[in-house]
A = this chain, B = another copy of it.
Amino acid sequence: MDELDHRIVDLLQRDGRATQLELSRSVGLSQPAVAERIRKLEERGIITGYTARVDASKLGKDITAFIGVSIEHPKYFEGFARKVLAMPEVLEAHRVAGQDSYILKVRTRNTKTLDTLLVETLRTISGVTRTHTTIVLTSIKEETYIHVSPEELKGA
**Copies of this chain, whole number:** 2
The stretch of A28-36, A115-123, A146-154 that contacts the partner chain: A146-154
Instruction: Please give me the residue from chain B that is nearest to A17 by CB atom.
Output: B50
B59 touches A152 (CB 8 A): yes
B134 touches A51 (CB 8 A): no
Residue total for A at the interface (Cβ-Cβ under 8 A): 64
Contact with B along A89-107 (1 / 0, CB 8 A): 1111111111010010001
B81 touches A145 (CB 8 A): no
A144 touches B91 (CB 8 A): yes
Q: Is the interface of A mostly helix, strand, loop or mixed?
A: mixed
Which residues on the B side are within 8 Å of A52 (C-beta)?
A: 9, 12-13, 16, 47, 49-50
B54 touches A46 (CB 8 A): yes
Of the residues B50, B54, B94, B137, contact of A64 by C-beta under 8 Å: B94
Known A-B contacts A50-B17, A146-B59; A136 and B95 likewise in contact (beta carbons under 8 Å) = yes
In the complex, how many angstroms separate the beta carbon of A21 from the nearest chain B beta carbon?
Answer: 15
Residues of A122-156 whose CB lies within 8 A of B:
134-148, 152-156
B137 touches A95 (CB 8 A): yes
Instruction: Please give me the residue from chain B that is nearest to A80 by CB atom.
Output: B140
